[in-house]
Amino acid sequence: MKTYLGYINDDKLRWSATSGGIGTAIIKYLFETKRIETAVTFEFNARELKYFPKLIYSFDEYESVGSIYNEVDLVAFIKEKVLEIRGGFACFCLPCQCKAVRHILANNEHESFIIGLTCSSQQSVEATEYLLKRMNLNKLDVQGLRYRGNGWPSGIQITMKDGMTKQIPNNNSMWTEIFHSRLFVMPRCLRCNETIAANADITLADPWSLPVAKTDKVGHTLCFVMTKEGENIFDNMKKTGLITSVPMNEVESLMTQITTILRKRLYKRGGRKLNLFLRLLKSEVYRKFVLSNSVWFKLHCRLLKPFFER
């Protein structure tokens, strides 16, 4: 595995991306060099308050949407749409989706390039609904919503139908509390032991905890190059001037994800106290109670800490 810190050289694409836009650069490069004919983009559906995947056949159709923190059943989508896939195929996958997506593509004789997204957890749409409730916003009035992108480290950007916009930061905010409350996390994430997508060609991450993350205002992507094909594409993107990158120390890069890696190990190990807490999280009575007002919610977040911290 080789690791790099980099960004896409196109200022507009870099700004709108989650971190440094290397993910966007890969899709652009693969289409432009005709290595792929099909990829996946996402569209926001305001009525359902969710992003949905869509097949695309050129980079012009790609929408830079940033990280999506509502559950997307990508494997089911690719299974359903497999007959509409032409030629080589690329898409972004969370670690738990990589193998299944590759398998579907191989079974249908398509070359695939998998861009892994490092992953702490994924949330149900109720997390976003709860955020709106706490902000006293009516979900029926929401027109657009982005979880990330438009600068670094950015945050949730909500556009209302009357044109008003609201922003909640990504760090130390109400959204951070909601995200880490474990009340909306997808159940499989509480038993997951994968953080960096080992089955991808290139896995991308936010450079949290690296010095650059503190000073940057635009964004850098941390890249874990996993396969020979990934290495070849990464080198060519650099040679052709699509991206800028510097090599990173592998251990230092992995250390940026250490909190998540250790937390996931803790999940796997289980133990009576942890299992009891996980059961409590599933209890409808408990959930109703802690979500009934912000004081109980905050108390829940405080109670949670000793169970999940190192």
Ligand X SMILES: Cc1cc2nc3c(=O)[nH]c(=O)nc-3n(C[C@H](O)[C@H](O)[C@H](O)COP(=O)(O)OP(=O)(O)OC[C@H]3O[C@@H](n4cnc5c(N)ncnc54)[C@H](O)[C@@H]3O)c2cc1C
Helix then strand count (H, E) for the chain reads 13, 11
Beta strands in 136-278 (DSSP E): 142-146, 155-160, 165-169, 202-205, 221-225, 243-248
Number of other residues whose CB lies within 10 A of the CB of residue 214: 10
Whole-number Å distance between alpha carbons of 111 and 131: 40
| Of 46 and 75, CB closest to ligand SF4 | 75
**Binding status of residue 114 toward ligand SF4 by CB under 6 A:** no
Among 192, 213, 222, 254, binds ligand SF4 (CB under 6 A): 192
**Binding status of residue 96 toward ligand SF4 by CB under 6 A:** yes
Element (H, E) at 132: helix 126-134
Whole-number Å distance between alpha carbons of 303 and 139: 29
Among 55, 74, 127, 233, binds ligand X (CB under 6 A): 74
Among 10, 194, 216, 231, binds ligand SF4 (CB under 6 A): 194
| Of 72 and 192, CB closest to ligand X | 72
Task: Give min distance, CB of 119 to ligand X, in A.
Answer: 4
Q: Are 197 and 120 in contact (CB under 8 A)?
A: no
Task: Give min distance, CB of 218 to ligand X, in A.
Answer: 10
For 70, which DSSP code?
B
Task: Give min distance, CB of 310 to ligand SF4, in A.
Answer: 17
> How is the beta sheet containing 142-146 ordered, strand by strand?
142-146, 155-160, 165-169
- Stretch near ligand X under the rule CB under 6 A, chosen from 104-112, 160-168, 202-210, 275-283: 202-210
Residues that bind ligand SF4 (CB under 6 A): 94-96, 119, 121-122, 186, 188-189, 192, 194
Residues that bind ligand X (CB under 6 A): 17-24, 41-42, 64-69, 72, 74, 92, 94, 117-120, 122, 204-206, 208, 221, 257, 260
